[in-house]
Structure 1
Amino acid sequence: MSFDIFNPQVSTVAKGLEGKVITLVGSNSLGKTKQATRMNKPFYLGFEKGIRAIAGIPFLPINKWSDFKKINKQLTDPKTLDKAKEIYQTIIFDEVYTSALYCQDYLCKKHGVETIGEGKDGFGLWKEYETEYWSEIDKLLGTGYTLVFISHVEETKEGKHIPKGDKRSIKPIIDNSDVVAYLQSNGVDEEGKVIKSSAWFAETDKWFARSRFDYIDTYLEEFTAENLEKVLADAIEKQEKAEGVKAVSFAEQKESYTSEELSYEELMEEIKDIGIKLNEADRLEELQDIVEKHLGVGKKVTECKKSQVQVMSIILDDLKELLTATE
């Protein structure tokens, strides 16, 4: 696709759980992992050992950050993505705080320091940690899996319950979540059996929760995998009726967010063709001015590397404009 503000894409809402990002927040023994594993075709990323009492769930052991990187590559690599998605639909990331500690340990060992704050000659490895953590999470986003992030809870000075973790790990996950559900215990019944937890999808002065869906019921009395899927489906259906829109498939929604494909070979060929035409029109000096504006004095497009396709595409647009003005 090419960009044209006079022929824009129109935003859509996708039905179903495909491509949705869900974060479950709460203390232990609320059913976060149990219910997540009951969702469609699960694969468990266990930074914690939350499935020791749950049988039949596909997983690979994660005891260090490099374990996760290797698994994540197979889950997200374009060469293996379709095959992986035939087997798995729900990727369960359990849990955020522990995964962040693994990432920090990975970088400490890489740089030979004890703590994340000691690297880079005392300036700390914070930026590298932020980049490393986000780059792996970003690979999962947009793949079409249903992503379920599980987060423990911590209490602020004001007594509010929020997802546990530093801003470099928990914030990008929260910011990209379609739903952040805060789970609340309901204790036990008269026979001493655990009553299923409830879920909240709106923030209060007592806890953090949120949803991108304006029409979602903010309270789910019984938190189960089926009820979670239903409350999201109902929210989208209500939006369709209230706003007169039609929900689309995840594939259709993803297509509308796809940027133009930039081929190094095609860009180079087109730039050369336009260059020949501009030379014939005696506009070679203006052509060079455009190239040097973007690449630097004395630089040539033919010297560009494949990593420079973005700037090549901008140069091509400017050259096209110059050629149009010449004709």
Structure 2
Amino acid sequence: MATFDIMNPQISTVAKGLEGKVITVYGGNNLGKTKQATRMKKPLYFPFERGLNAIAGVPYFPINSWADFKKYNKALTKDPAKVKEKYNTIIIDEVDAFAKYATRYVANQYGVDRIKDGNEGFGLWKEYETEVWEEINKLIGVGFTVIFIAHAQPNKEGKIFPKGDKRVLAPVIDNSDIVVYLESNGVDENNQVIKSSAWLAETENAFARSRWDYIDTFIEEYTAENLEQAIITAIERQEEEEGFAAVSFEDFQESQQSEDLDYDSLMAQITEIGTQLHEDDRAEEVTEIVERNLGAGKKVGQATKKQVEVLTVILSELQELIEEDSE
């Protein structure tokens, strides 16, 4: 188990480029949401709705169920370093349909027709939230550029927001580094569609936002290239204004790591320290720590691999006993 010094925390960093960034793009129909997303670097498209009908040459896997997505997501995230040789950008199109697939899966999982019928009428909302959160967290945690595409919908006051179930929108929006709202520019004098514009900050009419203080808040002509350049420029401006150097995504990801939660290693360390404490006639204290964390009458040997976080707490408390002996 890794040790730490509370007086020497890690210092936050900012990663260069689009690697590891999460982007939500939303707006009305025919504004270029899907087309521009598929022009990002090395895309892989997940069509929860049929967005490729007029776009050729895009790598994708068909989605006919939530189980399909879980299967693909597991394959993507099992060995991300290898997979990223082929794909950089993962596109989820679109959020509301994504939620409907998850709803159906959870209802079927618990043998009911609708989410609200589960748990004897109390609903399966928590189970549904957890299911969605786990898959999103898995996907965004390994360094792909992830793009969520959503439709637009006005609220009661007329302000425009991404459309979708709040239990899915919350983890999508909360994890997005940027939420882009697309606005139509109509047609020109020859009745040709003018490319849409993009808002990267909230206006009176629509929700949008960015984590970068120095980003241009409006893109006149929305394209994949212009969006990427806006993000890169924002990071460069932040470097200049705040006097730091952005790091590679690999260095950024390394800085986010905490202790290694390896089950076998934790069990070995607990056994070693526990044995030492028993020899020092501190068996009662060991038992108290174990039962406080695992439950009355429980032993460390009964802990499962799903309880690795609990095992880290037990190990930390046992280490404190050892440190008391050495003082």
RMSD after superposition: 1.6
* Cα gap change, 1:128 to 1:320, in 2 (>3 Å): closer
In 1: Cα distance, 2:14 partner to 2:22 partner? 14
Partner SS for 1:57: coil
1:229 corresponds in structure 2 to 228
Q: How does 1:1-327 map to 2 (within 5 A)?
A: 1-78=2-79, 81-327=80-326
* Cα gap change, 1:243 to 1:280, in 2 (>3 Å): same
In 1: Cα distance, 2:141 partner to 2:213 partner? 22
In 2: Cα distance, 1:169 partner to 1:82 partner? 27
In 2: Cα distance, 1:313 partner to 1:114 partner? 40
**The 10-residue stretch of structure 1 (12-21 or 114-123) with the greater mean CA deviation from structure 2:** 114-123
* Cα gap change, 1:65 to 1:309, in 2 (>3 Å): closer
Q: Which amino acid aligns with 2:38?
A: T
**Identity fraction in percent:** 59
* Contact 1:202-1:209 at 8 Å conserved across structures: yes
TM-score (normalizing by structure 1): 0.95
After superposition, the C-alpha distances for 1:226-281 in whole angstroms (9 at most, x for unaligned) are 10010001100000011001100111111111121122222222222223332333
In 2: Cα distance, 1:6 partner to 1:28 partner? 52
In 2: Cα distance, 1:285 partner to 1:107 partner? 44
Q: Which amino acid aligns with 1:24?
A: V
* Cα gap change, 1:6 to 1:102, in 2 (>3 Å): same
Q: Which amino acid aligns with 1:70?
A: K
* Cα gap change, 1:273 to 1:71, in 2 (>3 Å): closer
> What 5-or-longer segments of structure 1 have no aligned partner?
none
Partner SS for 1:169: helix
* Contact 1:196-1:223 at 8 Å conserved across structures: yes
The alpha carbon displacement at 1:138 in A equals 1.4
**The 10-residue stretch of structure 1 (14-23 or 306-315) with the greater mean CA deviation from structure 2:** 306-315
* Cα gap change, 1:177 to 1:289, in 2 (>3 Å): same
Partner SS for 1:230: helix
The alpha carbon displacement at 1:112 in A equals 4.1
Aligned length: 325
In 2: Cα distance, 1:295 partner to 1:98 partner? 40
The alpha carbon displacement at 1:65 in A equals 1.6
Q: Which amino acid aligns with 1:167?
A: K
Partner SS for 2:195: coil
* Cα gap change, 1:292 to 1:125, in 2 (>3 Å): closer
In 2: Cα distance, 1:291 partner to 1:177 partner? 39
In 2: Cα distance, 1:289 partner to 1:114 partner? 46
Q: Which amino acid aligns with 1:82?
A: A
In 2: Cα distance, 1:288 partner to 1:111 partner? 38
Q: Which amino acid aligns with 1:315?
A: I
